[in-house]
């Protein structure tokens, strides 16, 4: 649509066309949208339009919204929806600029389909957290509320439909919408403690929670990653989320379907006997040096045994390294952008042993079991 020799009028027409498209794709109240367009206030639901009389499920999509807005920020508000989605999904298509591939946000949304991201951006635009610029190639722009979303001051509810985000994605076995809620709560706890989110609980642990739906601390204690300390510290917060979600969606706990957690490992066909002995002594409360002395082994040999179990997600890293040191070592690995031990040891100095660094490296790159 173009008015010859009149770029300003062309822009007006394109903007109106874009507003019509937005109106057609709305999942919120259409009456509210129309009244807001003419400068009038309106309640969130009119009770009469097709969207208000159709039962629409929503979920807390704040984390997804933050990823989307972060991508727009990183790209300096200079690209349209399709480019931003490809950027979020970590596409290596020719159109993705090389300098963008090194940005922190590149690929953070690779676990979400392209169609789902389109739905998310539609919701963000409809809710006023993003706008499109006028022109033949509309660009995504931030709005007055974008910063509030990024800083977690506003919760963003996204719409679920067959084309959008499903409550329980086929084939995954876990409740996808619940997992997002758990991650949001983890982020809140991490911000409060000023630590990385994965230091609160790993993605693997949250996925287990979203799979087996424990409703109380007894059930939560059967989830890998919830030791006694974390159970007492965070158990109530996460149980409340699971309980509320299950009640809303009329779901029952599946915790009885989960095999009991094993504290001791005695199957020599899967792990060697000597490694198991080292692990069991650690679980009894002995230090690495005490285990080495009792077993007549070198400290480095025992550390190798335990590194194996850290990688297998069968021992909590906090049993081996203090929380302060974990945070410092993780930061050093991020800063050096290297997986080798020596650069990190050189950066941290004599207060950190190679064993501690090796444990944390194994923790960062440990195997995440399928739910």
In CATH, what number is assigned to the domain containing residue 221?
A: 1.10.150.80
Question: What pLDDT band is residue 87 in, cutting at 50, 70 and 90?
Answer: very high
pLDDT at 75: 94
pLDDT at 218: 83
pLDDT at 162: 37
Stretch 245-251: mean pLDDT: 86
Is residue 265 included in any domain, yes or no? no
- Estimate to the nearest angstrom the gap between the alpha carbon of 75 and the chain centroid: 21
Question: Does residue 24 carry a pLDDT above 80?
Answer: no
Question: Does residue 326 carry a pLDDT above 80?
Answer: yes
* Distance in angstroms (rounded) separating the CA atoms of residues 362 and 345: 15
- Percent of the chain exceeding pLDDT 70 equals 82
Structure tokens at 245: 């979600």
Q: Which of 230, 257, 284 is the last residue of a domain?
A: 257
Across all residues in the chain, what is the average pLDDT? 81
Helix axes 299-311, 288-295, angle to 10 degrees: 120
Is residue 267 included in any domain, yes or no? no
58 and 195, same domain (yes or no): no
Q: What is the pLDDT of residues 55-74, one digit of tens each?
A: 556 788 899 999 999 999 99
248 and 182, same domain (yes or no): yes
- Estimate to the nearest angstrom the gap between the alpha carbon of 92 and the chain centroid: 22
Q: Which of 275 and 137 is assigned the larger pLDDT?
A: 275
| Rounded (to 5) percent helix, strand, coil in the chain | 55, 5, 40
pLDDT at 4: 56
pLDDT at 171: 41
Question: Does residue 26 carry a pLDDT above 60?
Answer: yes
Which of 17-21, 184-188, 225-229, 255-259 holds the top average pLDDT?
Answer: 184-188
pLDDT at 168: 45
**Domain count of the fold of the chain:** 3
225 and 286, same domain (yes or no): no
Nearest Cα to Cα of residue 329 among 317, 311, 314: 317
Range of the domain at 215: 176-257
Q: Which of 229, 257, 285 is the last residue of a domain?
A: 257
Question: Does residue 146 carry a pLDDT above 90?
Answer: yes
54 and 136, same domain (yes or no): yes
Is residue 222 included in any domain, yes or no? yes
Question: Does residue 272 carry a pLDDT above 80?
Answer: no
- Percent of the chain exceeding pLDDT 90 equals 19
Span of 4-18, 46-60, 120-134, 264-278 with lowest mean pLDDT: 264-278
- Sign of CA pseudo-dihedral 356, 358, 360, 366: negative
154 and 16, same domain (yes or no): yes
């Amino acid at each position: 649509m173009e008015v010859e020799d009149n770029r300003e009028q062309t822009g007006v027409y394109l903007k109106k066309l874009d507003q019509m498209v937005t109106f057609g794709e709305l999942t919120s109240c259409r009456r509210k949208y129309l009244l807001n367009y003419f400068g009038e206030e309106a309640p969130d639901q009119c009770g009469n339009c097709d969207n208000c009389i159709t039962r629409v499920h929503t979920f807390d999509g704040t984390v997804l919204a933050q990823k989307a807005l972060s991508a727009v920020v990183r790209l300096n508000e200079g690209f349209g929806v399709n480019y931003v989605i490809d950027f979020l999904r970590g596409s290596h298509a020719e159109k993705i600029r090389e300098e963008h591939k090194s940005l922190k946000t590149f690929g953070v949304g690779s676990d979400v389909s392209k169609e789902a991201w389109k739905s998310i951006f539609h919701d963000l635009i409809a809710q006023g957290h993003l706008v499109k610029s006028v022109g033949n190639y509309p660009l995504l722009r931030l709005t007055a509320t974008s910063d509030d979303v990024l800083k977690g001051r506003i919760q963003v509810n996204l719409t679920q439909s067959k084309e959008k985000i499903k409550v329980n994605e086929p084939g995954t076995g876990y409740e996808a919408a619940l997992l997002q809620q758990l991650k949001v709560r983890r982020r809140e706890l991490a911000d409060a403690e000023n630590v990385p989110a994965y230091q609160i609980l790993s993605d693997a642990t949250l996925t287990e929670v979203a799979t087996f739906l424990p409703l109380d601390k007894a059930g939560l204690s059967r989830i890998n990653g919830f030791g006694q300390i974390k159970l007492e510290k965070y158990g109530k917060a996460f149980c409340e989320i699971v309980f509320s979600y299950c009640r809303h969606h009329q779901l029952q706990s599946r915790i009885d379907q989960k095999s009991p957690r094993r504290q001791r490992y005695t199957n020599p066909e899967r792990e060697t006997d000597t490694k198991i002995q080292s692990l069991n002594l650690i679980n009894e409360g002995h230090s690495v040096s005490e285990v080495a002395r009792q077993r007549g082994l070198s400290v480095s040999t025992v550390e190798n045994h335990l590194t194996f179990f850290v990688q297998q997600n069968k021992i909590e890293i906090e049993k081996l390294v203090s929380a302060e040191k974990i945070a410092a070592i993780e930061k050093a690995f991020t800063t050096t952008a290297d997986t080798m031990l020596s650069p990190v040891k050189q950066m941290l100095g004599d207060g950190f042993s190679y064993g501690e660094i090796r444990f944390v490296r194994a923790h960062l790159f440990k195997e995440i079991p399928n739910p």
